[in-house]
Amino acid sequence: MPIATVNPATGETLRTFDPLGAEEIERRLALARTAFEQHRTTDFATRSRLLNRAADLLDADEDRIARVMTTEMGKPIAAARAEAAKCARAMRWYARHAAELLADEHPSAADVQDSGAARVTVRYRPLGVVLAVMPWNFPLWQVVRFAAPALMAGNTGLLKHASNVPGTALYLEDLFRRAGYPEGCFQTLLVGSAAVEGILRDRRVAAATLTGSEPAGRSVAAVAGDEVKHTVLELGGSDPFLVMPSADLDGAAATAVTARVQNNGQSCIAAKRFIVHTDVHDAFCERFTAGMRALVLGDPLDESVQVGPLATEKGRTDLEELVDDALRHGARALCGGGRPTPTTGSAAGGGSGTHGDAHTTLDKGWYYEPTVLTEVDERMRIHREEAFGPVATVYRVPDLPAAIALANDSPFGLSSNVWTRDEDEMALCARDIEAGGVFFNGMTASHPALPFGGVKRSGYGRELSAHGIREFCNITTLWYGPGH
């Protein structure tokens, strides 16, 4: 895949980049390691000052970087601004909390004595140079949620970003440099995915974190396993969204729309499979489909647009194949089911779709209509595979055990959403749903204070919170003998 900025709203290539050569990669690896030797000895106050400064700069740059993101991967501009603001908040959160999250721990006096020591300290020390392989869908947030805790813990970072977001990748390197981080603390490597193995095998790289697809995760984990290096994997998801009879149906349907189409439907934690109790199935479908139909599709730089194009042409082809396969096997589209046509009613700027710029953009860009599919079954690929775009599948179930069984009938286990007012049903879901999160009467969202990650093929390890910052620490036992 070439390293290039290609506007998904027009298909136009705006800028291309040559990948770094072997010599430059070597120079940057050396720099990352040298920077680590210095950065690891800094105190938390120094690290906090640097990260807070980066947050201030990011706030000041909000409009500029939002435009870069929207131009590179097509998310609606308001969502891009919100992403930048969220990153600044997460930086401040880690700047404020890292010292307490990584404070020395002291086992109980009885356990210390039992271990034969006079005293024992457990200390969180940094691991070293961490390689981050990141995706394009939240091009700022995915990186910041790794970089903020990793840098606060005293590590240094190397970013291999997705090849279609080089502008955002270079912005990030520049941001940390302007914030005052010493050279080498955070570097962007403009390289293709084929270069990842060599970098990861380099002795100066201590660990890796990857957010992306399952094949990419498997490949990086295999190399890391061979090298016995620690990894965190945040991979795909096909999150269930359960709706039970006691639910606030209007709230559930409105949230379902947002949960499915956020980021043009390209979010790992988007709700993708809607599993609805038969008593409320038809009423939910009616409200949900009406909400999906009403979405404004169009140029993501237009403030009124809610759904932009898919980020890449291949992404749209993959989605089309998934929906076509389902329709061929008997699924029914309650709305959408293909590319927008001139009669699409939801194009920005007018119902006829003939509105000047909006229509031109819909023709040229990689748009796909918000789609609701029913009568989906296991013969269809979409039953097991992740639909990375604004396409929902709705299932009818007779009761909660059937809903939970269907929720768990997926290779993925990232997060889940449950709409019910029944405490017993909540308890059952909290016990039985196989996922890294269960969000009741709301939709899954990440927050710096809450652990984020999945089980099964959604990956392993956790980001954010205390768990996220400790992933890249050498948890060291300091044992002092009785003679000490």
Q: Which residues are catalytic?
A: 234, 268
How far is it, in rounded angstroms, from Cα 344 to Cα 299? Answer: 14
Cβ 313 to ligand NAP shortest distance, Å: 13
CA distances from 133 to 151, 159, 232 (A): 16, 6, 10
Region binding ligand NAP by CB under 6 A among candidate stretches 133-141, 275-283, 372-380, 393-401: 133-141
How far is it, in rounded angstroms, from Cα 207 to Cα 126? Answer: 11
Identity of the residue, 211 or 231, whose beta carbon is nearer to ligand NAP in the bound complex = 211
Q: Is 216 in the site for ligand NAP (CB under 6 A)?
A: yes
Among 11, 21, 180, 192, binds ligand NAP (CB under 6 A): 192
Region binding ligand NAP by CB under 6 A among candidate stretches 85-93, 128-136, 250-258, 326-334: 128-136
Ranges of H-type helices in 262-412: 278-293, 313-328, 356-364, 400-408
Among 74, 237, 300, 353, binds ligand NAP (CB under 6 A): 237
**Which of 190-210 are b and which e, b meaning 16 or more Cβ less than 10 Å from the residue's Cβ?**
bbeeebbbebbebebbbbbbb
Q: Is 234 in the site for ligand NAP (CB under 6 A)?
A: yes
Q: Is 25 in the site for ligand NAP (CB under 6 A)?
A: no
Cβ 361 to ligand NAP shortest distance, Å: 23
- Provide the sign of the torsion angle of the four alpha carbons 306, 236, 185, 95, taken in this order: positive
How far is it, in rounded angstroms, from Cα 209 to Cα 190? Answer: 17
How far is it, in rounded angstroms, from Cα 82 to Cα 72? Answer: 16
Region binding ligand NAP by CB under 6 A among candidate stretches 36-44, 58-66, 136-144, 285-293: 136-144
Q: Is 239 in the site for ligand NAP (CB under 6 A)?
A: no
Q: Is 372 in the site for ligand NAP (CB under 6 A)?
A: no
Residue 477: partners with Cβ closer than 8 Å, 6 or more residues away: 120, 121, 122
Q: Is 212 in the site for ligand NAP (CB under 6 A)?
A: yes
Q: Is 208 in the site for ligand NAP (CB under 6 A)?
A: no
Q: Is 134 in the site for ligand NAP (CB under 6 A)?
A: yes
Which residue number has the CB closest to ligand NAP? Answer: 212
How far is it, in rounded angstroms, from Cα 126 to Cα 230? Answer: 13
Cβ 400 to ligand NAP shortest distance, Å: 26
Identity of the residue, 92 or 161, whose beta carbon is nearer to ligand NAP in the bound complex = 161
Region binding ligand NAP by CB under 6 A among candidate stretches 180-188, 191-199, 427-435, 474-482: 191-199
Residues 242-271 that bind ligand NAP (CB under 6 A): 268
User: Nearest to residue 71, comparing CAs of 149, 151, 164, 196?
Assistant: 164
Identity of the residue, 302 or 385, whose beta carbon is nearer to ligand NAP in the bound complex = 385
Cβ 137 to ligand NAP shortest distance, Å: 5
Residues 377-416 that bind ligand NAP (CB under 6 A): 386, 388, 414
Among 70, 137, 393, 415, binds ligand NAP (CB under 6 A): 137
Within 10 A of 60 (CB to CB), how many other CB atoms are there? 11
The helix or strand, by DSSP H or E, that contains position 187, with its residue range, turns out to be strand 186-188
Identity of the residue, 198 or 345, whose beta carbon is nearer to ligand NAP in the bound complex = 198
Identity of the residue, 213 or 258, whose beta carbon is nearer to ligand NAP in the bound complex = 213
Residue type (1 letter), 368: Y
User: Pairing between strand 186-188 and 156-160?
Assistant: parallel
Tokens of 481: 């003998």
CA distances from 75 to 10, 139, 230, 311 (A): 13, 10, 32, 8
Exposure of 446 in the CB half-sphere (CA atoms within 13 A): 28
Tokens of 304: 């009124």
Q: Is 2 in the site for ligand NAP (CB under 6 A)?
A: no
User: Nearest to residue 468, comparing CAs of 460, 456, 476?
Assistant: 460
Within 10 A of 282 (CB to CB), how many other CB atoms are there? 11
Region binding ligand NAP by CB under 6 A among candidate stretches 19-27, 55-63, 231-239, 355-363: 231-239
Q: Is 236 in the site for ligand NAP (CB under 6 A)?
A: yes
Region binding ligand NAP by CB under 6 A among candidate stretches 130-138, 151-159, 321-329, 420-428: 130-138
Among 169, 196, 208, 382, binds ligand NAP (CB under 6 A): 196
Q: Interface with ligand NAP by CB under 6 A: which residues? A: 1, 133-137, 142, 160-163, 192-193, 196, 211-213, 216, 219-220, 234-237, 268, 386, 388, 414, 458-459
